[in-house]
Amino acid sequence: MRTLAIFVLAVTAVAAAAERYVGTVAKVETSPPSLLIQLDGGGQKWVAVPPETPVLRIAPGEKDLSRATKLAFGDVRAGDRILARAEGEPGIAGQILMLSQGDLAQKQQAEREDWKRRGISGKVISVNSEAGEIAITTATREGAAAVVIQTGGATELRRYRSDSARFGDARPATIRDIRDGDQLQAVGERSPDGRTLRAEKIVSGSFHNFTARIETVNAAEQALLVRTSPGDPPVAVKIAPGSILRRLSAEAASQLAGQKRGKTAAAGNVLEGSLALTVNELQPGDAVVIATVDGTGGTGANVAAIAVIAGVEPLLKRSAEAQREVLGSWSLSLDPESSGDRGGGR
């Protein structure tokens, strides 16, 4: 229980310019009213909420505060998204803007459905920054197909950070940040012939995929120690927030390894039949494919994994050259708006 001291300190603190604290409510105290915020940038912050402080509930995506609903402090729950404007140290809140868990869940579900319905993913094959066009190759039922992604002034472009696979964490980008060989996902309106897509949102990244065998699992730290081959140094792998953890079926693993019909498979197709995992379910000795963003995985350095795919024993039985050939064409279909069925990344 927080004591009245937080209010005494807050009221007597030297006035300072209001700071913005954005994150998720980790804890709610009612006596005196105060919130512990898990900040988006890392760390935590306690803020006191005096009775006169307005607490406003805003709808997802709403920018007009006149449309906000006034709430009582008791309506705030752990897990709600929050923006607190506070002064002093400890912080005393002058305004609380809140997005409830329920509203956020509905927004995320709608966004997931939109990306599934109107989204596309593939590997970048050319970029024309002057024309605002990006050509990608994407997997279809008929095989690989080329699609031109068209951008405009209203297109939101983002690029995955090396330490997170969440679309919301991706940094703002421009078309000039995108390179040949990048993985890209876009959502927008596709032309009737399917050859072009007018993009509303784009997220891209330069992924590095490598195979390894797990040596140790630290579920509490969301971390693995893996080795790419018996003679190589171990690689410390941190599971990034929003990461995909999946286990392939035996059939899908054989397909990925190119043991069926003499061809490899696109990752998006292979992952459709895979099962979600948690870090706890991974075991020493498991063969895995690890995907990193802008990483140098496999060289002995620490890496942040945005995907760990288990059940790939058939792929490890192939030569190093064959593995590189398979993984070089592997298209990782991240769900950029999902909080979904990923086992890792807290």
- What pTM, to 2 d.p., does this model score? 0.63
Does 341 fall in a domain? no
DSSP-assigned beta bridge partners for residue 202: 157, 186
State both tokens at 282: 């991974």
- Residue 26 pLDDT: 92
Q: What is the domain-level CATH number for residue 48? A: 2.40.50
| Sign of the CA dihedral with 39 first, then 44, 48, and 49 last | positive
- What pLDDT does residue 160 have? 86
Residues 303 and 257 in one domain: yes
Would you give the DSSP letter of residue 336? T
* Spatial separation of the C-alpha atoms in residues 234 and 216, rounded to whole Å: 10
pLDDT of residue 264: 42
Residue 272 lies in a domain: yes
Distances (CA, A) of 160 to 155, 171, 242, 295: 16, 7, 11, 12
Rounded to whole angstroms, the Cα distance separating 136 from 159 reads 16
Domain co-membership, 216 together with 183:
no
Contact criterion met (CB below 8 Å) for 213 and 205: no
Whether residue 263 lies inside any domain: the answer is yes
Question: Is 88 within the bounds of a domain?
Answer: yes
Q: What is the full per-residue pLDDT of the chain (346 aa) written as tens digits?
A: 343 344 334 333 433 457 889 889 999 999 899 999 988 767 889 999 999 999 998 887 777 778 888 989 999 989 888 899 998 877 899 999 988 878 877 887 888 888 888 999 888 999 999 999 999 998 777 778 899 999 999 999 999 887 777 777 788 999 999 999 888 999 999 999 999 999 999 999 888 888 899 999 999 888 999 998 888 889 999 988 778 888 888 777 777 666 544 444 444 455 666 788 889 999 999 989 888 886 544 444 688 888 898 988 887 777 777 666 666 655 555 555 554 444 444 4
- CB neighbours of 117 closer than 8 A, spacing ≥ 6? none
Asked whether residue 236 falls in the same domain as residue 308, the answer is yes
Q: Are residues 227 and 299 in the same domain?
A: yes
Other residues' Cβ atoms within 10 Å of the Cβ of residue 162: 14
- Position 69 scores a pLDDT of 87
Are 309 and 221 contained in the same domain? yes
Q: Examine the domain organization and report whether 168 and 117 are in the same domain.
A: yes
Under 8 Å between Cβ of 15 and 88: yes
State which of 99, 126, 143 marks the end of a domain.
99
Q: What is the pLDDT of residue 2?
A: 42
Which structural domain range is residue 164 located in? 110-205
Q: Are residues 324 and 225 in the same domain?
A: yes
The burial of 134, by beta-carbon neighbours within 10 Å (0-12 exposed, 13-18 middle, 19 or more buried), is given as buried
**Final residue of a structural domain among 99, 128, 159:** 99
| Whether residues 323 and 240 fall in one domain | yes
Examine the domain organization and report whether 59 and 85 are in the same domain: yes
Domain boundary among 99, 126, 145: 99
* Residues 14 and 84 occupy one common structural domain: yes
215 shares a domain with 181:
no
Chain length of the chain: 346
